[in-house]
Amino acid sequence: MPDAVALDFGDDRVTYLEYRDWSERIAADLIKRGLQPGDRVGICAANSLEYCVLILGILRAGGIVLPMNMRYTPHELAEIAEDTGPRFIFADADRLAKIEGLSSASLEISHIGQLRHGQRPIIAHQPKPDDRVVIISTSGSTAKPKGVVFSHRSMTGYVATHAIEEQSLGRGSRVIIPAPLNTSAGFVQLTHYTILGCTLHFLSAFEPALFLKTLVEKKINGFGAVPVFFEAVSKLPEFENADLSSITMATCGGAPVTQALQDTWMKKGIVLRQIYGQTECGGNGTIMPEHLARVQPQKCGMGGLFNEIGIIDENGNRVPPGTVGQIILRGPGNMLEYWNNPEETAKVLKGEWLHTGDLGVLDEDGLLTFIDRMKDLIISGGLNISAAEVERAVLTFPGIEECMVIAAKDAKFGETPLAVVYTRQDIDVPALISHCNSRLADYKVPRYVALEHEPLPRTPTGKLSKPAMREKYRNAAEALPRVR
């Protein structure tokens, strides 16, 4: 096991023994620089070997990892830094300029490579099970991202639960991770499959042909992605003859799996298994059993030995099978809290139950079908976009009085932001997009803008009402010009 490959980045890899020793040298270096247990350490960088090992080094030193979205603007990064107060922020060369104006000490992540070799140090710090280990930013219905906090206990509890309930992958399995490490999908899979003793393969970015080539050449055993990823890979001409017989588990989340997509992959002997989850529950809350996913691909699975699932009405009462209500989850992987935000924490954590803000329905067999988001999220290429955050940026542009951001269909990303704005004057749309580019990561910036010259519809309580605009612009991708 010590000599087994832990991390494989194609042209570079490390064994588990090298992984441990390198991370402990990083821990010693951080402690020497003044890191104290509980200090936050930000990382703003693309996926890399150094990023992975730095995460483990921070944990070994007693710090709290703060993954920062590499696509965020300096404005967005400053908001996160103000909320979390990191002692250090590491960045790669392409993002170093984004963090230079922040109060935290900035370090280039290439420094981590200088610690790759040397003697194994003695680290006095001994982590405790309930120590906080990571703050993962998540987009929700609020205008600013919230920081989801996990401990050693909650993260290892999540892994142990899945290791017992789902044994398709384990020690020695080869897993590919297409997600950025700053997302819950990337970070949780790194910790999950490292604890299991798998070999983790990474790509710097998702490119369908390279992804398929890696699946074949590395004989990958498992991976998870959003449906648009599976669709992109299956449309490649080389997909038909690709040998994918090594794959034992493929999970899909973020949008429903259609029967047509399921049938395409089943011809290759692979059953796509829908999951339901969110950052706050540690990742996957449910996973569809393989034999049931063959004929019911849109369903997301059921509760298990340790993860419980329920559906409640607006008064918090359980509802019978076949009734739509809010999904609630209870399990060892649930988050501890939102960082520095007790008010939002109290809204979603009630006793041992996580109130997800999502609508779903359980059938007579306990199988979950996801219906819709009570929270106002747009999922674009697997990335969560808070509509409220985009609206906040748009509303700071002169002349715009009201704004609602909704999802428009997108052939590549599944969904993309559409800004519907009310204005009583002419708006320079290119200037608006330029304004948004300065305040938002590129994937959040609206691809469509619809100008309304009458006030936007509102609910009886005075809130902007989106259903009418969703219906009006349901064919936005065909009817409106793309503005970027």
Domain locations along the chain: 5-370, 377-479
Average pLDDT over residues 319-323: 95
How many angstroms separate the first and last alpha carbons of the chain?
Answer: 49
| DSSP helix/strand/coil, 207 | coil
Backbone angles phi, psi at 402, to 5 degrees: -140, 150
Q: Which long-range contacts (CB under 8 A, 24 or more apart) does 397-400 make?
A: 397/427, 397/431, 397/432, 397/435, 397/436, 399/423, 399/424, 399/425, 399/426, 399/427, 400/427, 400/432
- pLDDT band of residue 101 (cuts 50, 70, 90) is confident
* Residue 149 backbone phi and psi in degrees, to 5: -105, 135
Pairing of strands 414-423, 448-452: parallel
The percentage of the chain sitting over the pLDDT mark of 90, rounded to a whole number, equals 75
Q: What does the pLDDT read at residue 283?
A: 86
Q: For the chain, what is the largest distance between any 2 Cα atoms, rounded to a whole number of angstroms?
A: 69
Residues 376, 387 contacting (CB under 8 angstroms): yes
Least confident of 239-253, 267-281, 363-377, 445-459: 363-377
Which of 235, 222, 200, 305 lies closest to 271 in space, CA to CA?
222
How much is the average pLDDT of 261-265? 94
Superfamily the domain 5-370 falls into: ANL, N-terminal domain (3.40.50.12780)
Give me the CATH code for the 377-479 domain, please: 3.30.300.30
How do residues 274-287 score in pLDDT, each as one tens digit? 999 999 999 889 99
Specify the amino acid at residue 8: D
- 8 Å CB contact between 40 and 84: yes
| Mean pLDDT along residues 307-321 | 94
E strand map for 363-399: 368-373, 377-380, 383-386
3-state secondary structure of 96: helix
